[in-house]
Amino acid sequence: MIGEKAGVTITRVERDRPLFPLPEPSPSAPPSPAAPQQRSWARRAVSPLVILVIALVKWGAKLKGVLLLLPKLKILTTSGTMLVSIGAYALIWGWKFGVGFVLLLLVHEMGHVIQLRREGIESSAPMFIPFLGAVVAAKSLGRDALAEARVGLAGPILGTLGAAAVVPLYWLTGNELFLALAFVGFFLNLFNLLPVVPLDGGRAMAAMAPWMWFAGFAGLIGLTFAFPNPIMLLILLFGGMETWRRWKAKRRGGREQEAYYQVRPAARLAVAAVYIGLIVACAAGMAGTFVERGFPA
């Protein structure tokens, strides 16, 4: 059929020829080798774990920077962070326990503050972080490992005395709240004596036996597996990073490092005596304030 419209001539197209020729099929590529149908169990288990560890390290480094920045923010005063922490603990254990627990934390941290100032080092006031305790910021922990040990042990010394001071309140009132606070106070100071940095026990090990950092870190791993929770994971992360950093600096050596870790044997024995004495006192305090509770029938 032939027609004409708007100057365009339409002619009959041959029926057997397509209007738009299809491209020539390309020669088929050789088949690729078949991919393995299923990865091994070990690879499937390790891959997510590696991704999780990398993410925790990156997040932990950022969180550490935030924690170091906290003392510089004027809005976050000691009293303000205390109130926030009391509110957080009160949601779980009630406001009375929250107040008592934060006061015990304050006593512990003030031990560090007092000793830092005795060492001639300026420090911030304690800053409280709910469910992570409290932190004191300072440019250093002393001129050598012995000064670091004194600063580290000052917290548990004053903190253990603070926990012991709560026990007479139970004798006077018979209120088991004070017994619970004393128990938690002894436990808090005993936990801080684990020989791993940045805990107080790790500070003491700097003057006694730095290689104990690895033993303490292994113990921390065991505790994390026994009592898994986000707080233990954070402590484990920070502990691993700080232990590795300190050990690398010590192995690198140099006159400054050698002078820092040079401690007289008599001073090392004195630190060991205080350290062991604190462990015994806290363990005895926990045993004396522990109350076994059963479930109602």
Q: What global pTM score does this model have?
A: 0.71
Question: Quick one: pLDDT at residue 194?
Answer: 93
Instruction: Give the residue carrying structure tokens 């020539």.
Output: 24
Residues of the chain whose pLDDT is less than 50? 1-16, 19-20, 26, 29, 31-39, 41-42, 45-46, 48-50, 52-53, 56, 66, 71, 73-75, 295-297
Domain ranges of the chain: 65-289
Spatial separation of the C-alpha atoms in residues 54 and 58, rounded to whole Å: 6
Backbone torsions φ then ψ of 4, nearest 5 degrees = -145, 130
User: pLDDT tens for residues 158-182?
Assistant: 999 999 999 999 999 999 999 999 9
Taking alpha carbons only, the member of 185, 184, 178 closest to residue 108 is 185
pLDDT at 78: 79
Over the stretch 216-255, which tens digit does the pLDDT of each residue have? 888 889 888 888 888 888 888 888 898 888 888 888 878 8
H helices within 21-141, ranges in order? Answer: 41-69, 78-93, 95-118
What pLDDT shows up at residue 38? Answer: 47
**Token pair belonging to 167:** 């026990």
pLDDT of residue 51: 55
Are 57 and 49 in contact by the 8 Å Cβ rule? The answer is no
The letter for the amino acid at 255 is R
At residue 166, the 3 state secondary structure works out as helix
Beta bridge partners of 9: 4
Residue with tokens 């820092």, as numbered in its chain: 260
What backbone torsions phi and psi does residue 160 show, to the nearest 5 degrees?
A: -65, -40
Kindly tell me the burial class for residue 13, based on how many C-beta atoms sit within 10 Å of its own C-beta (0-12, 13-18, 19 or more). Answer: exposed
The CA distance from 109 to 112, in Å, is 5
Q: Dump the DSSP string for 198-246.
A: TSHHHHHHHHH-TTHHHHHHHHHHHHHHHS--HHHHHHHHHHHHHHHHH
Asked if 85 and 136 touch (Cβ cutoff 8 Å), the reply is no
Tokens of 102: 């934060």
- State the pLDDT at residue 77: 67
